[in-house]
């Protein structure tokens, strides 16, 4: 069972519309030069099936209507105008076939969109649940700059009411207030972005900034659990074409998974390593390694399955969703036991140069 909280990926191909036009022309010519008793227009259904790959819903209806119009036009142009009953029936059959194909294709598309919406909703619920686990430490993260603001406010009042007032010191304290207020706002903004339910949107992203967003967001959580964080983010990596919120969800899931895995580890030996690098095939490789108890061989095989969980309160969807997001981005994710201690999760992502689709042009994106 897989969940794909993402846009089904449609490989872009600028040749498809040309192929559809060529096919239409060929069918039209064949239909016009053959007599009416051969139901050539039935082949227009192939044009409709081809158009699904690049047309919007409305576009598809227009293609269907166009095919019907061409069918009727051929009938008038057909040289041998023996308007037999068979010919008329064949034309009607062709038109019905075109209508039925168009209707079915539209219906399948709308079913796919429903599934896509449900998956996106599930991913959103999972994301909010993951954020829920962080509530205490996020509250702490916001509390620190607020505490500092209270103290700095008191200090600036003291400097101002001194005799003579120490304006330089007061200014420094007020500058710190501004800095802390911005810091608190940034944390709130970061949480809001992850909690928001927005349609998937692929843009060029820098994987290192995505990793840093999540390590910043989870810094207090890691500190609370006495986990030392080590990052090794390679500079100058190729950008990836991805949905940044979904990739953040992947990183958040992997970090929370690591925190959970180290619960029974002695405090002084809890460490989390996150690294980014180029992989062999020119894409990206991200590594997340914890120093927990490691993985049972049976767990390695099953841990990405839906509803497989070793946690008492877990639903077992976090890693399933993580995998489906990575696969939707054309990558791969796998787990292994570390040589020394703990578990290693790695995922790859292809770099942006490999085929970029424009979501507006495909009916499969649900954006038509």
Partner 1 sequence: MMTTIKPSIAIVDDDESVREATTGLLRSLGYIAKGFASADEFLKSNRLRITTCLIADMHMPGTSGLALFGQLRAARNPIPTILITAYPDEDIRARALSAGVSNYLVKPFSEKELLDSIATATRH
Rounded Cα distance, 265 and 223, in Å: 15
Region label for 177, one of left (φ > 0), alpha (ψ between -120 and 50) or beta (otherwise): alpha
Of 68 and 274, CB closest to partner 1: 274
Find out whether 221 and 246 touch, Cβ atoms under 8 Å: no
Q: Where are the alpha helices (DSSP H) in 162-237?
A: 167-195, 207-217, 219-224
Backbone angles phi, psi at 78, to 5 degrees: -55, 125
Nearest approach, Cβ of 136 to partner 1 (angstroms)?
8
Q: Residue 187's closest CA among 271, 131, 254? A: 131
Find out whether 65 and 9 touch, Cβ atoms under 8 Å: no
Nearest approach, Cβ of 234 to partner 1 (angstroms)?
25
Among 25, 73, 104, 146, binds partner 1 (CB under 8 A): 146
Binding mask 299-338 toward partner 1 (x if CB under 8 A, else -) reads: ----------------------------------------
Q: Per CB under 8 A, which region of 13-21, 146-154, 199-207, 239-247 contacts partner 1?
A: 146-154
Q: Does 151 participate in binding partner 1 (rule CB under 8 A)?
A: yes
Nearest approach, Cβ of 263 to partner 1 (angstroms)?
17
Would you give the DSSP letter of residue 293? S
Q: Per CB under 8 A, which region of 89-97, 143-151, 190-198, 285-293 contacts partner 1?
A: 143-151
CA-based diameter of the chain, in Å?
Answer: 111
Q: Residue 195's closest CA among 93, 125, 133? A: 125
CB neighbourhood size of 213 (10 A): 19
Nearest approach, Cβ of 150 to partner 1 (angstroms)?
5
Question: And the tokens for 357?
Answer: 């689709």
Among 155, 191, 299, 300, binds partner 1 (CB under 8 A): 155
**Footprint on residues 333-362 left by partner 1 (CB under 8 A):** none
Q: Per CB under 8 A, which region of 92-100, 141-149, 191-199, 310-318 contacts partner 1?
A: 141-149
Q: Residue 94's closest CA among 107, 113, 75? A: 75
Q: Does 61 participate in binding partner 1 (rule CB under 8 A)?
A: no
End-to-end CA distance of the chain: 28
Find out whether 122 and 128 touch, Cβ atoms under 8 Å: no
Binding mask 165-204 toward partner 1 (x if CB under 8 A, else -) reads: -x--x--xx--x--xx--x---------------------
Residues 6+ apart with CB under 8 A from 357: 9, 10, 11, 12
Among 57, 158, 190, 278, binds partner 1 (CB under 8 A): 158
Q: Per CB under 8 A, which region of 20-28, 139-147, 275-283, 294-302 contacts partner 1?
A: 139-147
Question: And the tokens for 252?
Answer: 């958040």
Of 63 and 227, CB closest to partner 1: 227
Q: Does 271 participate in binding partner 1 (rule CB under 8 A)?
A: no
Give how many residues touch partner 1 by CB under 8 A.
29
Nearest approach, Cβ of 217 to partner 1 (angstroms)?
16
Beta bridge partners of 204: 241
**Footprint on residues 217-246 left by partner 1 (CB under 8 A):** 223-224, 226, 228
Find out whether 39 and 86 touch, Cβ atoms under 8 Å: no
Nearest approach, Cβ of 271 to partner 1 (angstroms)?
11
Among 94, 152, 265, 348, binds partner 1 (CB under 8 A): 152
β-strands 228-233, 343-349: how paired?
unpaired
- Report the interface residues with partner 1, using CB under 8 A: 136, 140, 143-152, 154-155, 158-159, 162, 166, 169, 172-173, 176, 179-180, 183, 223-224, 226, 228
């Amino acid at each position: 069972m897989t969940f794909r909280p993402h846009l089904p990926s449609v490989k872009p191909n600028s040749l498809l519309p040309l192929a559809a036009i060529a096919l239409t022309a060929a069918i039209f010519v064949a239909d016009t030069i053959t007599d009416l008793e051969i139901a050539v227009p039935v082949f227009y259904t192939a044009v409709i099936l081809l158009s699904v790959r690049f047309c919007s819903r409305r576009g598809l209806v227009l293609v269907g209507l166009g095919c019907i119009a061409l069918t009727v036009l051929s009938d008038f142009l057909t040289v041998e105008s023996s308007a037999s009953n068979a010919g008329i029936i064949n034309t009607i059959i062709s038109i019905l076939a075109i209508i039925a194909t168009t209707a079915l294709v539209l219906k399948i598309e709308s079913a796919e969109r429903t599934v896509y919406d449900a998956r996106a909703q599930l991913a959103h619920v999972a994301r909010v649940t993951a954020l829920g686990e962080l509530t205490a430490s996020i509250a702490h993260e916001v509390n620190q700059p607020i505490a500092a603001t209270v103290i700095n406010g008191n200090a600036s009042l003291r400097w101002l009411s001194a005799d003579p007032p120490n304006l330089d010191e007061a200014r420094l304290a007020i500058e710190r207030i501004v800095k802390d207020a911005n810091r608190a706002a940034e944390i709130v903004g970061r949480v809001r972005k992850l909690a928001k339910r927005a349609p998937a949107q692929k843009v060029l992203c820098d994987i290192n900034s995505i990793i840093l967003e999540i390590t910043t967001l989870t810094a207090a959580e890691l500190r609370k659990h006495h986990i030392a964080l080590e990052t090794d983010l390679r500079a100058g990596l190729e950008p990836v074409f991805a949905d940044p919120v979904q990739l953040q969800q992947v990183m958040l899931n992997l970090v929370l998974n690591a925190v959970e895995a180290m619960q029974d580890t002695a405090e002084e030996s809890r460490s989390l390593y996150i690294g980014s690098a180029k992989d062999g095939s020119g894409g990206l490789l991200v590594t997340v390694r914890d120093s927990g108890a490691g993985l049972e061989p049976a767990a390695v095989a099953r841990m990405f399955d839906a509803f497989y969980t070793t946690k008492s309160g877990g639903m077992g969807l976090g890693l399933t969703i993580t995998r489906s997001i990575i696969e939707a981005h054309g990558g791969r994710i796998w787990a292994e036991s570390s040589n020394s201690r703990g578990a290693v999760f790695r995922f790859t992502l292809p770099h942006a140069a490999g085929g970029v689709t424009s979501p507006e042009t495909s009916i499969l994106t649900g954006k038509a």
